[in-house]
Amino acid sequence: MIIAVVSQKGGVGKSALSRFLAVEFAKSGWSVKIADLDTGQGSSTNWKARRDQNAIKPEVPVEKYATVSRAVQDAERYELMILDGPAFAEKRGLQMAEYADLVVIPTSYSLDDLQPQVETAQHLEVAGIDPEKIKFIFCKADGSDTEEASARSYLKRAGMNVLKNLMPERASIRHASNNGQSASEVPHRTVRERIIPLAVEIANIIIPKIPDIEEPQVHTTIEPTRETACATH
Ligand SMILES: Nc1ncnc2c1ncn2[C@@H]1O[C@H](COP(=O)(O)OP(=O)(O)OP(=O)(O)O)[C@@H](O)[C@H]1O
Ligand SMILES: [Mg+2]
């Protein structure tokens, strides 16, 4: 399975989302790797170094790849490869999306993010990417319920799918990242409880895409939610 985290916009939370998903799936027994395609910045690679320095488990392999095709070749060795993409890379984003089973596009509630991110999705769709494969995720989400509702309605009007669960913006998530931890490894239970359902929702999207899954070949303790359980059984 390949999840591509794609965005034209910088700083929207691609790397934080990639690490969170990698940690949660790894905790559930999947073999996971993050392909750090932002070779200039290498922020996930640096995060991995901090994680190793602090001996945080589970171990999550992260490697820089100069090309998408190299990362995709390596993906065969893992149950899940997460492509953590660079910003401002239209061509590379399309390549990532072509290979991916699921394309996720992070956005905040701000029109400054929503507009370019919708353009990213439209560009992918025009280039032939199945719109069903593209899901928006609210990341660094900070605002009232009204703001969330208005952002959801904006995406709906643009014909985009957005996940029910989100990653809130929290200082504790930044601090966790500084220590080589993911958003789900913060000390605050309320933050963890808010964010872990996002991994469950994504598991419920990708598990049915695993070929020949009559008898699940991948063990996961990411429990389906009651609402989405029917999608996997
Ligand atoms: N949920 C969050 N709460 C608080 N801070 C966050 C959250 N997610 C990300 N950040 C912080 O926001 C900044 C940008 O996040 P991140 O590096 O994940 O974005 P990105 O889209 O990968 O950026 P780039 O385009 O530079 O690769 C970082 O400083 C990160 O620590
Ligand atoms: Mg990044």
Higher per-residue confidence, 218 vs 38: 38
The answer to whether the CB of 140 is under 6 A from ligand 1 is yes
The pLDDT tens digits of the residues spanning 4-33 come to 999 989 999 999 999 999 999 999 999 999
Considering only 126-135, 156-165, 223-232, which range has the smallest mean pLDDT?
Answer: 223-232
**Pocket of ligand 1 contains residue 11 by CB under 6 Å:** yes
| Residue whose CA is at the smallest distance from ligand 1 atom 14 | 11
Burial (0-12, 13-18, 19+ Cβ within 10 Å), 97: buried
pLDDT of residue 157: 98
Q: Ligand 1 test: best mutation among 43, 172, 178, most atoms within 8 Å of CB? A: 43
Cα 85 to Cα 110: distance, rounded to the nearest angstrom = 21
Question: 216 CB less than 6 Å from ligand 1?
Answer: no
Flag whether the pTM goes above 0.85.
yes
CA 69 distance to own-chain centroid: 19
Residue with tokens 């009232």: 144
Distance linking the first and last C-alpha atoms of the chain: 19
Q: What six digits make up the tokens of 92?
A: 């590379």
Cα 140 to middle of ligand 1, angstroms: 7
Q: How far apart are CA 141 and CA 128, in angstroms?
A: 29
Contact between residue 160 and residue 113 where contact means Cβ atoms under 8 Å apart:
no
Q: Say if CB 105 and CB 129 are below 8 A apart.
A: no
pLDDT per residue over 187-197, tens digit each?
Answer: 999 999 999 99
Look at strands 161-162 and 32-36 and give their pairing.
Answer: unpaired
- Confidence at 43, pLDDT banded by 50, 70, 90: very high
Name the strands in the sheet holding 102-107, side by side, starting at the edge strand that comes first in the sequence: 62-64, 32-36, 80-84, 2-5, 102-107, 134-138, 161-162
Residue among 36, 125, 23 nearest 86 (CA) = 36
From the CA of 106, the nearest ligand is 1
Looking at residue 222, what is its pLDDT? Answer: 59
Q: How far apart are CA 96 and CA 92, in angstroms?
A: 6
Residue 135 exposure: Cα atoms within 13 Å on the Cβ side = 20
User: What is the distance between the alpha carbons of residues 44 and 15, in angstroms, rounded to a whole number?
Assistant: 6
Q: Is the CB of 13 under 6 A from ligand 1?
A: yes
- Tell me the average pLDDT across 151-155: 98
User: Does the beta carbon of 43 sit less than 6 angstroms from any atom of ligand 1?
Assistant: yes
Domains delineated in the chain: 2-232 (3.40.50.300)
Ligand 1 pocket: which of 7, 15, 169, 184 to mutate (most atoms <8 Å of CB)?
Answer: 15
Read off the pLDDT band of 205 (50, 70, 90): very high
